[in-house]
Structure 1
Amino acid sequence: MTRLQTHVDPTFTPCPDPCPEAVRQLELRLADYLTPAQILKVRRAYEVGAAAHDGQKRKSGEAYITHPIAVAGILAELRMDVETLCAAILHDTLEDTPLPRSQIVAEFGEPVAELVDGVTKLDKIQFADKQEAVAESFRKMMLAMSRDLRVILIKLADRLHNMRTLDAMSPESRRRIARETLEIYAPIAQRLGMNRIKAELQDLGFRALHPLRHKVIAKRIASQPVMRREAMATLEAQIAHRLTQEGLPFRLVGRVKAPWSIYSKMREENKSFDQVMDVFGFRLVVQKVMQCYHALGAVHSMFKPLDARFRDFIAIPKANGYQSLHTVLFGSYGSPVEVQIRTEEMDLIAERGIAAHWLYKNIGQGMNNAQIRAQDWVRGLMDSQESAASSIEFLENVKVDLFPDEVYLFTPKGDILALPRNATTLDYAYAVHTDVGNHAVAARVDKKLVPLRTKLISGQTVEIITAPSATPSPQWLEFVVSSKARTAIRHHLKRLEHEDAVDLGHRMLDRALEQRDSSLDRVSGERLEQFLTEHRYRRLEELLADIALGNRMPAQVAQVLAQGDVEVPLRPNQGLVTGEQILITGAERGVLSFAGCCYPIPGDDIMGYITAGKGVVVHRADCPNVTEYRKHPERCVPMAWDRYVEGDYRAALHIEVDNKPGVLAQVAAAVAESDSNIDSVEYRERDLRISVMEFGIEVRNRKHLADVIRRVRRLSVVHGVERK
């Protein structure tokens, strides 16, 4: 590949005094790849930024402008374009200074203003708490990133410099920022293939969050025996000698695993430092793809590879576009050594990720592979944010999606799909296409029929079986792990549930108004419109759906609608589970949920309890928790089953049986013969003679449950059955 030669444009004039030394150093670095006119534009950004931040200081006591200049310096190392550099220098001006956006547009153009706006937090908006503010700012940044990937490059450079200067912050702030860096920003850098920035963010975050652990591991790495280091040097010489004999042009670099990487492996695999094998290793860089496999054969002919530790990320790249061959060798000197083999282009993308596009324009046509994958990932995230109930939920979705490991699967046609670790066949179905996921009923994994909740492992071939009548179930959310699957399921359920939510919310609000001697029909149109406007509802249906989902208390809404803001005394027993009951048919299941503490089924006496975010949760009237719930009558909803109820409902049975082989099969057969599905089984040994089994089953109503219990009791191996 063509390399850029370091040179300085002879027409370039360095920034004259009184420019700070940092600015002069930045301009000298930029002269290597930008034109004088572009450097002047960056210099103008510095002048505007310095004037805007005049008088502002960082926690360390330095002038604030030193921070954006340092951020631009990090991006200059990645050889980012002039718009990104200007935006980096101005990235805090909209947030922390009176500088208007219009001035940025006038002097530097709309693209620079868009980048600055994308990095700017939402400090001017009032949020319920710090967590919500952080989550909403993150959502805004990701939205801007979906329009222009350079937003995240500026944010990562900003975070990297903040981490480098973290010592000036209070201990509490250091821990909070370090945790956020390790949980969000370092994984994002990894997901975008920017391994160099990821590694430094992880190391700085680890040192700030666990300084003693970082110090101990760093000391252990530094104090490795001289014999071990001499062995590595000998090994390096042997590999270099063999590759030269093979006629391969190469670059061989020794590497040491970072403290955070070692700590993570020790924690996840419960290993000691000495048990982490690949602390040391080599990176072998060649010119062409076929030379990677040639080099692999050469090193394998010298040293035995460790079984099950070879990975071919060239044929099957990681989700972030990373490509390399990984092998672990048994050297002649004790511990195994990892060798990574890749081309120069792969090495560049492994280190720079999406930034490699701006660093070397001649890679690929337009965007590199890492950028294409990054844009697909961000596009998927932004699809998920539309169905997220809140910014906090969206942030949690992103955290889940920043998976460290992938599972590689084959379609029946031989194409490869990468999914998160622990992905199920249903995740695979949604990865193929949303419509395939929505209508999935089962799958064939390596030609064997399996259920949708089956977890997948790398190398399997998966085929999805669909049915036109099949639709997503709320239970699917319990076992899917990919954000695309969760988003698609929630979107489908919300669309189906909206009408049910509006209907249930209407009934709940009507009942609350009746208790105040009013009704929805008697509320004036002006008062209703005023309420909707004040609470940012576009239509009455949105308010009613929010009531059903537990986001608005019907009693509070009724209070305002019936009598304005004047407090009206409740009628006797008002709010308690008395009076007119709301009848449920089972069709409202997308809006209602059934308590796992008592598993109500049709025929039981029931009540509802409003829980924020969950809507109405239905409990049996004799549930032990109901006593506590009745202390909050405004949240209690009188409910009963309608005459005709549809669907199956979960029930739990506590069964005592003989402790001998074959008993489980007999009980399962009896349940199946009763036309009931088994959802779960827990088997607990009580003593040598008696065992206890807890069955989760699906029944239509109390009569159906009684039939199941009767049939199970008839078994000679059963000593007792009771509903849990």
Structure 2
Amino acid sequence: MSAEATVEGLTKELSSYLDISRINQVRRAYYYAEQAHEGQMRKSGDRYITHPLAVAGILAGLRLDHQTLMAAMLHDVIEDTGIPKDALSEQFGEDVAELVDGVSKLTQIEFRTRAEAQAENFQKMTLAMARDIRVILVKLADRLHNMRTLGPMPYEKRQRIATETLDIYAPIANRLGMHSICTELEDLGFASLYPMRAKYISQAVQKLRGSHREIIDDIRGKLEEKLRERGLPGRIMGREKHLNSIYNKMKFKQKSFHEIMDVYAFRIITDTEDDCYRILGAVHSLYKPLPGRFKDYIAMPKANGYQSLHTTLFGMHVHIEIQIRTEEMEHIANNGIAAHWMYKDQGSSVTSVNQARVDRWVKGLMEMRERAEDSQEFIEHVKVDLFPDEIYVFTPKGKIMELPSGSTPVDFAYAIHTDIGNAAVACRVNRNLGSLSQPLESGQTVEVITAPGAKPNPAWLGFVVTGKARSSIRHTLKSQKRTESLELGKTLLKKSLKGFGATLSDINDAQIQSVVSHNQVNSFDDLVSEIGLGNRMAYLVARQLLSGGEETGQAALTKETGRGGEQSPVTIRGVEGLLVRCATCCKPIPGDPVVGVMDSGKGMVIHSDTCARLPADDEGRARLTHLNWAKDITDEFSVDLKVELVRKRGVIAEVANAVAIADGNIERINVEEQNAKFSVVSLVLHVQGRRHLARVMRRIRNIRAVTHISRVRH
């Protein structure tokens, strides 16, 4: 069959929903592309033009607008024939040229297996989608036709294209609600990567289908009879399980082939939303529903706009899965965002909601892109978003929020607004105070409690699941870390300069600039920040600043440091933010003599000055920062105590009570050694400083049964 005949075939299909002038524009684009690709062949030996024509055919099946079809015809023209974008713009208008340019840019994206390159390109793809979502629709159709004709490609290229399809394109099709394209991409990708597994599963499915034919016909007959009896419109279709999803269930859910296939799946398509619920009642009267397996996606659509009623029934000794939906929902379930153009002229409310969802998703991607430090971090966040299993929760005002399953109140807070997430301190779930880390369940009402000046907690990164929450927390923590490292670095640098009898104001810009270039950093702030992070030594930077690189000066200054370093301790106000923390080995508290050790990349660790882990040699001791505790510290610090006591009933409660009376806070209590007469109890307490600790120890010592109490320093 000649290409000429197939363009006629396409014209025929288009005439079912486009007017003649628009069809002629699509034909014009076809002839233009045919001329441009003259003499080019595909690997299969077909003329190249068969590919753009097939891509346009796929999009015509989705009933897309004429501009998208023109872009499909022309999508390889800029790339392969050297015709510039301007020429297309003159011939076919700005919109079509923009689309073709967008698709060309996506085609240049090589999702190499190196995550870095792949991530970079995913960002480009997001930008293209943000400008015009139709770019990705043409790209998906292009990818689908390439997957259908992968055969003649070399093995390595087939593997790369198939992996990329499963990792990137199929999830995007799913996120845009385009179920039919998504499943075909998945099955083609799976068959290409694992031809033997695909063949084996396919044969097993064929064989099983033959032996189950009677049961399927029987269930279908009963369902049809029930609908007739109630006078309900509806066509009943059997639902095929796809090879890739069978394989994934076997692999990830550890289910056997027969467990998966013993479920009989049907779809009932009806006229109105009302009929959907009536049919649900009818099927529930025919077979018993399984508790907990009913889902109403009509009242609460999935994130990609999918709507349907799902129920699982138990009948004839087998499980029967049923989906009930209207014709429009069926079209949207299969074609997702592409359905938007079909219903656009009819002003359907479903599609405007669907479109708003996609817009919101793309906007969310753009936000994440701005926040992510590098493209790899960005793709990590996005992958979370591409594979959601949703839960639905309510705001106190009754608005529905969709979140991936496993989401916590922190994810919910960030989903409402970044500022609310950043300032969250507690939450109420169904009006009761709840934990911020507790995964939410569908149907709960969640209220976030915020406090001015609150900051995200680094521990949140351990339990949040949404990309938006993760990227926002990281972004805020990075800027917080930057501010703190600058402050700490400045304090340490000033202290070192003071040891040399100088201040920052004594140093001129030229000296600062030469030290900045010498250290190969972008700015003086970056250098100071590096000191705060523990990546550079304050006293070396101070020496560079003062010496101006003169050797003799340097030698003289080195002698100073031993003496100068002792004189001016740095005052600390407890555990400050992200960059000052207490050592877990000696657990110092306010009042203990302490020194600071710089830990590369992580800031300062406070040790008790008698800690066994501190360096013993002079050079090591010279690097320590002498610290003073500030007077008005209100933070709580962790302390280990060891209490020896005579065993008697209720004595542990007495110890706990004594700690409480002295305003101490018990984190952990553990009975370590016991014999008939004595016990050793180890306590981990939170106190505000040495005086507070002395008060707590006095209270414990006053208990009659206590024979000895001591503070443990590891």
TM-score, structure 2 normalization: 0.77
**343-352 or 88-97: which moved more?**
88-97
What corresponds to 2:140 in structure 1? 156
- CA distance in 2: counterparts of 1:303 and 1:465, whole angstroms: 46
CA contact (8 A) 2:295 2:311 kept: yes
CA contact (8 A) 2:484 2:579 kept: no
**Given the alignment, which residue of 354, 366, 390 partners 2:337?**
354
AA in 1 matched with 2:320: V
What corresponds to 1:7 in structure 2? none
AA in 1 matched with 2:235: R
What corresponds to 1:395 in structure 2? 379
Kindly report the root-mean-square deviation, in angstroms, between the aligned alpha carbons of the 2 structures: 5.5
**408-417 or 291-300: which moved more?**
408-417
AA in 2 matched with 1:304: K
Consecutive unaligned residues in structure 2, runs of 5 or more = 549-553
**67-76 or 284-293: which moved more?**
67-76
Matched, 1:217 2:218: no
**381-390 or 223-232: which moved more?**
223-232
What corresponds to 1:335 in structure 2? 318
Shift of the 527–336 alpha-carbon distance from structure 1 to 2, 3 Å rule, reads: same
What corresponds to 1:188 in structure 2? 172
CA contact (8 A) 1:411 1:417 kept: yes
Provide Cα deviations, 1:675-708, integer angstroms capped at 9, x if missing partner. Answer: 67678x7999999999999999866678888998
Q: Aligned-pair distance for 1:254?
A: 0.6
Shift of the 270–106 alpha-carbon distance from structure 1 to 2, 3 Å rule, reads: same
What corresponds to 1:204 in structure 2? 188
- CA distance in 2: counterparts of 1:366 and 1:224, whole angstroms: 38
Residue aligned with 1:256, SS: coil
What corresponds to 1:608 in structure 2? 598
AA in 2 matched with 1:476: W
**388-397 or 693-702: which moved more?**
693-702
Residue aligned with 2:254, SS: coil
**58-67 or 187-196: which moved more?**
58-67
Q: Aligned-pair distance for 1:237?
A: 1.0
- CA distance in 1: counterparts of 2:123 and 2:130, whole angstroms: 11
The alignment of Structure 1 onto Structure 2 pairs a total of residues equal to 691
What corresponds to 2:66 in structure 1? 82
What corresponds to 2:277 in structure 1? 293
Q: Aligned-pair distance for 1:281?
A: 0.7
Shift of the 126–376 alpha-carbon distance from structure 1 to 2, 3 Å rule, reads: closer
**Given the alignment, which residue of 110, 122, 128 partners 1:138?**
122
Residue aligned with 2:239, SS: strand
**Given the alignment, which residue of 582, 592, 607 partners 2:579?**
592
Percent identical: 46
Q: Aligned-pair distance for 1:598?
A: 6.4
- CA distance in 1: counterparts of 2:675 and 2:261, whole angstroms: 44
What corresponds to 1:470 in structure 2? 454
What corresponds to 1:233 in structure 2? 217
Residue aligned with 1:465, SS: strand
Q: Aligned-pair distance for 1:287?
A: 0.7
Say which one has the larger Rg: 2
**202-211 or 415-424: which moved more?**
202-211
Provide Cα deviations, 1:349-391, integer angstroms capped at 9, x if missing partner. Answer: 1111111111233252594322111111221221222211111
- CA distance in 2: counterparts of 1:170 and 1:695, whole angstroms: 66
- CA distance in 1: counterparts of 2:174 and 2:644, whole angstroms: 52
Residue aligned with 1:315, SS: coil
What does 1:43-192 align with in structure 2 at a 5 Å threshold? 43-46=27-30, 49=33, 66-94=50-78, 98-121=82-105, 130-192=114-176
Q: Aligned-pair distance for 1:53?
A: 5.7
CA contact (8 A) 1:582 1:638 kept: no
Shift of the 53–271 alpha-carbon distance from structure 1 to 2, 3 Å rule, reads: same
Provide Cα deviations, 1:311-366, integer angstroms capped at 9, x if missing partner. Answer: 1111222122211111111121x320101011111111111111111123325259
Shift of the 225–407 alpha-carbon distance from structure 1 to 2, 3 Å rule, reads: closer
CA contact (8 A) 2:290 2:314 kept: yes
**240-249 or 445-454: which moved more?**
445-454
CA contact (8 A) 2:409 2:437 kept: yes
AA in 1 matched with 2:205: I
TM-score, structure 1 normalization: 0.76
Residue aligned with 1:322, SS: coil
Shift of the 722–438 alpha-carbon distance from structure 1 to 2, 3 Å rule, reads: same
What corresponds to 1:3 in structure 2? none
Residue aligned with 1:480, SS: coil
**586-595 or 185-194: which moved more?**
586-595
Shift of the 571–598 alpha-carbon distance from structure 1 to 2, 3 Å rule, reads: farther
- CA distance in 2: counterparts of 1:71 and 1:545, whole angstroms: 54
Consecutive unaligned residues in structure 1, runs of 5 or more = 1-15, 565-569
AA in 2 matched with 1:114: E
Q: Which has the higher helix share?
A: 2
Provide Cα deviations, 1:437-465, integer angstroms capped at 9, x if missing partner. Answer: 33332222223222222221112222333
What does 1:316-715 align with in structure 2 at a 5 Å threshold? 316-332=300-316, 334-361=317-344, 362-364=346-348, 367-494=351-478, 496-504=480-488, 521-522=507-508, 524=510, 585=572, 592=579, 605-611=595-601, 616=603, 618=605, 641=627, 643-644=629-630, 648=635
AA in 2 matched with 1:462: V
- CA distance in 1: counterparts of 2:128 and 2:95, whole angstroms: 11
CA contact (8 A) 1:266 1:272 kept: yes
Residue aligned with 2:129, SS: helix
AA in 2 matched with 1:354: I
CA contact (8 A) 2:409 2:446 kept: yes
